[in-house]
Amino acid sequence: MLINYIFVDTNIWHYAYVTPSKEDFKQIHIFSLEFLSKILQNDDIEIAITTYQIAEIMDILRKQSMTIPEREMVFKLFKTDKFFIVDITFEIIELCFRKSPASNIHIYDYLVALPTKNIVTEIYSADDHFQHPDFKEIAPVTNPLHPWILREGRIPVKS
């Protein structure tokens, strides 16, 4: 059986596990939770995730006041066979460092996705930065939270 590896961006993890306080954004939580739950339950799909992204997700959940036992539950999930863990090398960091100023996109977006090139067949992200050709070269990009656009440090917007 051929395993289908996908990439799920941090913003989806964030909103799946954290319910926004603003009523306007609760739909994002519902969409994210439904999407991630389907992926996690599908035995034909594995998630490729970088060591950097795991740290990023865990820190975001900490900043959102998720309890230690809740964060421990998420961290244990990453240790299961559902995940293909991709280590970050210094060469990858340098490549991300070079691509970031050329595109004016955060190095963090590159650090989570670029190491999964030649592994994933689909990228799922609601961040419009991922519509840049650098990310589409990795794999096709789909926003499973459409019409929502989520970008780090900005208020979510509908497209």
- The chain-wide mean pLDDT, for the chain, equals 94
d(CA 108, CA 52): 9
| 52 contact partners, CB below 8 Å, separation of at least 6 | 88, 108, 111, 112, 115
Residue 139 predicted with pLDDT over 80: yes
- Confidence band, pLDDT 50/70/90 cuts, at residue 128: very high
| 27 contact partners, CB below 8 Å, separation of at least 6 | 148
Domain map (residue ranges) of the chain? 4-151
Contact 88, 51 (CB under 8 A): yes
Contact 5, 84 (CB under 8 A): yes
Residue 2 predicted with pLDDT over 70: no
pTM across the whole model: 0.94
- Confidence band, pLDDT 50/70/90 cuts, at residue 155: confident
> Which tokens hold the place of 23?
């009523």
87 DSSP 8-state letter:
P
- Please give the average per-residue pLDDT across 44-69, as a whole number: 96
**Burial group, residue 45, by CB count within 10 angstroms (0-12, 13-18, 19+):** middle
d(CA 81, CA 29): 25
CB atoms < 10 A from the CB of 3, how many? Answer: 10
Residue 152 predicted with pLDDT over 80: no
Residue 29 predicted with pLDDT over 90: yes
Domain 4-151 has CATH 3.60.120.10: no
